[in-house]
Amino acid sequence: MEKNEPSSHAQIEHPAPVGHEVIQGYLKTLDSSPGVYRMLDRESRVLYVGKARNLRARVSNYARPSGHSSRIARMISMTASMMFLTTRTETEALLLEQNLIKQLKPKFNVLLRDDKSFPNIFVTGDHAYAQIKKHRGAKKQKGAYYGPFASAGAVNRTLNQLQKVFLLRNCTDSMFESRTRPCLLYQIKRCSGPCVGLISEADYAQSVKDAERFLSGKSTDIQAKLADQMQQASEEMEFERAAALRDRIRAMTQVQSAQGINPRGVTEADIIALHMDSGQACVQVFFIRANQNWGNRDFYPRVGADVDAAEVLEAFLGQFYDTKEPPRQLILSNEIENPDLMAEALTQKLGRKVELLVPQRGEKAELVDSALRNARESLARKMAESATQAKLLRGLAEAFELSEPPERIEVYDNSHIQGTNAVGAMIVAGPDGFMKNSYRKFNIRGDDLTPGDDFGMMKEVLHRRFRRLLSEDPDRAKGMWPDLLLIDGGAGQVNAVAQIMAEHGVEDIPMVGVAKGVDRDAGKEEFYRVGQRPFALRHNDPVLYFVQRMRDEAHRFAIGTHRAKRAKSNMKNPLDDIPGVGASRKRALLAHFGSAKAVSRANLADLKAVDGVSEGLAQKVYDFFHDQ
C-alpha cells in the first residue's frame, strides 16, 4: 500500500522544510517490511528511488545528520517528502525499483539511457515454405526466434550469409503467393525458388531444419553433411551441384569468421563488463548464443562521481533486463551489491535458473577481459568526443549570443515532392552528440495547406510540437524542452515559427534560421533571428561545420522519412481497404487472380468461385471496386 506522510503543517507562505529532519519524521510510521521508497524535492520531483529489505532500517540511515557521501548528502538536503510502497519480498522490491527508475528517471539514480529492443532472426512457422527475416519487438507470431543480435547490421550480415547457404525465401507471404516466375534472388543463388515449385516441400523443409540447427549452434554437423554431399556430387560428375555446395560451405565459414569470438565452453550467456573513469561509465555487452558471438553493444549509463562499480552494474542489470529476456548465464567483470537477489529476480523472470558469474580464470575470464578492453576503449573515445562536443556547444552559445551552452538543440526540416507525402522531421543534439531516440517525424495533416507550402508545413510541425510539450511537461521539469531551435530556412520560416511560439506563449527559447547563402553553397550559410539582421560565420569556423552537420542530419532524416512514406503509399494494396478482407482472404484472392488489378476487373461470378470467399464477401469486393 502506498503512503505519502506525514504532511507538512507549515504555513503556506513558508517553504517546505527539507533534509534529514524531514526524513526522521517518517520513522514513526514505518515497519520492517521490504519495499521501495521515493525521495522528493519541494516541487514533488522524484530525486531518488531505492529498495530496502527493511524500510525502517534503510530510512533511518538517511535520517542521520552525517556520515554520507557527497552525492547522498546533497540528495538528503533536497528531500522535502518521501513515498513508500511495501512489497511481499525483497525480490519484488528490486524489480519494482528498477521499473520505477526507468519510468521516473530520478536525478540521483544510476540510469540506463539507451534501452532499445534488440533484433532477432525469425523463421516463420505458419507456412509450408517458411520465411526467414529480421524481427524486432514482441514475439507474437508463430515460429522460431533466434537472438538477440547486438544490432541490425549483425542480423543483416548473418541473414545475407544464411541465404547463400540455405537458400531460404525472405519475401512476404502475399508476394510469395502472387509469383508466376522466380525473382532475382533465385537468379543470384540466394533462394531456391519455392514460390514456383523449383524445390519440393520436403527438401525446403530440410533446408529450414538445417538453418535452425546452424542458428542453434550445430554448424559443424551441417558443414560435414554439406562436405559429404559435395564429395558425392563430384564423384557422380555433377560438377555444377558440387560447386554450388562448395559455395554454401564457404558462406557458412564466412558467417563464423565474421562473428569473431566463438567460445566452446559458453553456450548461452551475456558477457557484461564495466569500465569507469572520471565520473563516467561504459558497459560493454557481448551476446553469446548457441556458442556463437552475435555481436556487442556499448552503453553509457548516467552515473555520479562517487558511485561505486557494484552499484552501477547492479542498476544496469536491473534496468537492462526489465524488458528483455535474460540468458542462462550473466558473466560479469565486477561483483554487484546483491548477486543472490538479482539472480533470484532474473530466474523468476525467465522461468529457469539464471547464474551470475565473476570468473577469475579460464575461457570465461578471457571473454570478460575482451569485453573490458572494448569498454575501456569505447569510453576513451566517448570522453574525447564529449570534450569536443562541449567546446562546440560553447562556441555555438557565443555565436548565437546564448546565455549558456545549450543542453538540447532541436533542428527541424520538411520533405515532400510537390506537396505529396509531406513530412516534417525533428532531430535532437546535445552534449553527447545526436540523441536519436529523441528524433520525431510528423505526417503533415493540414488539408487547407497549398501543396508545397513550406511555411505552412513548418507552422503545423511547431504547433504540434509545442502543444505536446505544454501538455506533457508544462513545468519544463522532464528535460523535454529545447534550449535552442534551428530551422532550415530564412526569414520567412523564422517569422512563421515565431508566430506559432507566440500563440503558445513560448517566447523565451532562442531560435535561428539556417539558410544557404549565395549560390546555395555550403559554407556560405546565413543565420536569421527575429528582429535582427542576418549574419554569417567565418568559412572555416568549427561552429559553422557543426551547424552544417546538424542541418544535414535533419535533412537526411526528413528525406528518409519522406521516402518511406512514399514507398508505403506506392506499395499500398487496395484490398487492404475492403472491410472483411483479412490477410488470408487477401492471399486467396491474389493467388486466384494474380494481382489486385485483376481482382478489381473480375466479375461477381469469378469472385464467388475463389476458395474461402463467401457470396457476401464477393459482393463486398465487387461493390468496392465498381462503386469507385
pLDDT at 9: 45
Q: Among candidates 436, 435, 412, which has minimal Cα distance to 424?
A: 412
The residues, any chain, with a CB within 8 Å of residue 15's CB and separated by 6 or more, are 42
Confidence of residue 11 (pLDDT cuts 50, 70, 90): very low
CA atoms within 13 A on the CB side of 528: 18
pLDDT at 40: 95
Beta bridge partners of 49: 38
pLDDT at 214: 82
The answer to whether the beta carbons of residues 136 and 76 sit under 8 Å apart is no
Fold of 409-569: Nucleotidyltransferase; domain 5 (3.30.420)
pLDDT at 459: 87
Q: Among candidates 381, 386, 387, 406, which has minimal Cα distance to 396?
A: 406
Fold agreement between 2-104 and 574-627: no
Count of CB atoms situated within 10 Å of the CB of 11: 6
Confidence of residue 7 (pLDDT cuts 50, 70, 90): very low
pLDDT at 10: 44
- As assigned by CATH, the class of the 2-104 domain is alpha beta
Res. 260: pLDDT tops 60: no
The answer to whether the beta carbons of residues 233 and 241 sit under 8 Å apart is yes
Q: What are the pLDDT digits (tens) for 182-209?
A: 989 999 888 999 999 999 999 899 889 8
Q: What are the pLDDT digits (tens) for 366-383?
A: 999 999 999 999 999 988
Q: What are the pLDDT digits (tens) for 525-579?
A: 899 998 889 999 988 889 999 999 999 999 999 888 878 777 766 556 677 778 8
Lookup: cell for 171: 519475401
Res. 261: pLDDT tops 90: no
The C-alpha atoms of residue 450 and residue 22 are separated, in whole angstroms, by 60
CA atoms within 13 A on the CB side of 13: 0
Res. 115: pLDDT tops 70: no
Q: How would CATH label the architecture of 268-381?
A: 2-Layer Sandwich (3.30)
Q: What are the pLDDT digits (tens) for 426-475?
A: 999 999 889 988 999 998 876 666 666 778 888 888 999 999 999 988 88
Q: What is the DSSP string of 367-430?
A: HHHHHHHHHHHHHHHHHHHHHHHHHHHHHHHHHTT-SS--S-EEEEEEEEETTEEEEEEEEEEE
Q: What are the pLDDT digits (tens) for 314-367?
A: 999 999 998 888 999 999 999 999 999 999 999 988 888 999 999 999 999 999
Expressed in angstroms, the distance from the first to the final Cα of the chain is 59
The mean pLDDT value for 8-17 works out to 56
Res. 504: pLDDT tops 60: yes
The mean pLDDT value for 481-495 works out to 90
pLDDT at 6: 47
Q: For the chain, give every domain's residue range.
A: 2-104, 120-259, 268-381, 409-569, 574-627
Q: Which CATH superfamily is domain 574-627 in?
A: 5' to 3' exonuclease, C-terminal subdomain (1.10.150.20)
The model's pTM = 0.74
